[in-house]
Chains A and B, each alone.
Chain A
Amino acid sequence: GENVEQHPSTLSVQEGDSAVIKCTYSDSASNYFPWYKQELGKRPQLIIDIRSNVGEKKDQRIAVTLNKTAKHFSLHITETQPEDSAVYFCAASPSGSARQLTFGSGTQLTVLP
């Protein structure tokens, strides 16, 4: 089955700096890669996703890049703000309509004011 590895497990940045979180996946058939943000005590919520026919996608301060050859994808957050502090999960989904997700282990991002 699919295996998703995520790094780093913790990340601290100064407010205004950029943050980068990286994930690798094992199943070359995976073609959907979402990122979820989970604030303390809350539910995971989708913040951005990318499909295998796209190399990069951007939404305001967040962007995701995908390298299918190397089987890795990354989340980039620019101009970080204290409210960006949360746990971020990457995930990968095999082909098919179910979108069954395998999650990475999560990255605790702390933005220091």
Chain B
Amino acid sequence: DAGVIQSPRHEVTEMGQEVTLRCKPISGHDYLFWYRQTMMRGLELLIYFNNNVPIDDSGMPEDRFSAKMPNASFSTLKIQPSEPRDSAVYFCASSNPAAGGAEQFFGPGTRLTVL
């Protein structure tokens, strides 16, 4: 397996623009997590899905952020409109606890810069 795949790896955009981050979890993993990493706030869980259903989105900072998982192999995190304070590295991770593995496997991350 190729592991968790994220795209794009880098995104530079201007304030006010819409940004869409993409994630493909490891095949067979039924949990998908979106994290944001900044120097000030560390690693923060934004939202997670189980079997494509959002379970806890309490970490989503505000209504400008939304996430979807239309099927087991694809998820998106959208920011509209983007702001400079959204600049961060966004990680997607997946896991399969039912198989006995509690480990979360992280993707390479998307480095977002909002000018």
Residues in chain A within 8 A of chain B (CB atoms):
32, 34, 42-46, 49, 89, 93, 97-106
Q: Give the interface SS of chain A, mostly helix, strand, loop or mixed.
A: loop
User: In the complex, which of the residues A32, A46, A100 has the most CB atoms of chain B within 10 Å of its own CB atom?
Assistant: A100
Q: Are A44 and B45 in contact (CB under 8 A)?
A: no
Give chain A residues whose Cβ lies under 8 Å from the Cβ of B2: none
Residue on B nearest A102 in the bound complex, by CB = B45
> Given the interface contacts A97-B97, A98-B97, A100-B56, does A43 sit within 8 Å of B106 by beta carbon?
yes
Give chain B residues whose Cβ lies under 8 Å from the Cβ of A100: 33, 45, 48, 56
B34 within 8 A of A: no
**23 A-B residue pairings within 8 Å (CB atoms):** A32-B102, A43-B108, A44-B43, A46-B104, A98-B48, A98-B55, A98-B97, A99-B31, A99-B95, A99-B97, A99-B104, A100-B45, A100-B48, A100-B56, A101-B45, A101-B104, A102-B45, A103-B42, A103-B43, A104-B42, A105-B42, A106-B42, A106-B43
- Tell which of A43, A93, A103 touches B102, judged by Cβ atoms closer than 8 Å: A93
The interface bits of chain B over 94-115 (1 if a CB of A lies within 8 angstroms of the residue's CB, else 0) are 0101100011101111000000
The interface bits of chain B over 37-67 (1 if a CB of A lies within 8 angstroms of the residue's CB, else 0) are 0000011010010100001100000000000
**What separation, in Å, do the CA atoms of A89 and B38 have in the docked complex?**
14
Give chain B residues whose Cβ lies under 8 Å from the Cβ of A46: 103-104
Give chain A residues whose Cβ lies under 8 Å from the Cβ of B45: 100-102
Q: Are A99 and B102 in contact (CB under 8 A)?
A: yes
Residue on A nearest B58 in the bound complex, by CB = A1
The minimal Cβ–Cβ distance linking B43 to chain A, given in whole angstroms, is: 4
**What separation, in Å, do the CA atoms of A62 and B97 have in the docked complex?**
24
Give chain A residues whose Cβ lies under 8 Å from the Cβ of B102: 32, 34, 49, 93, 99
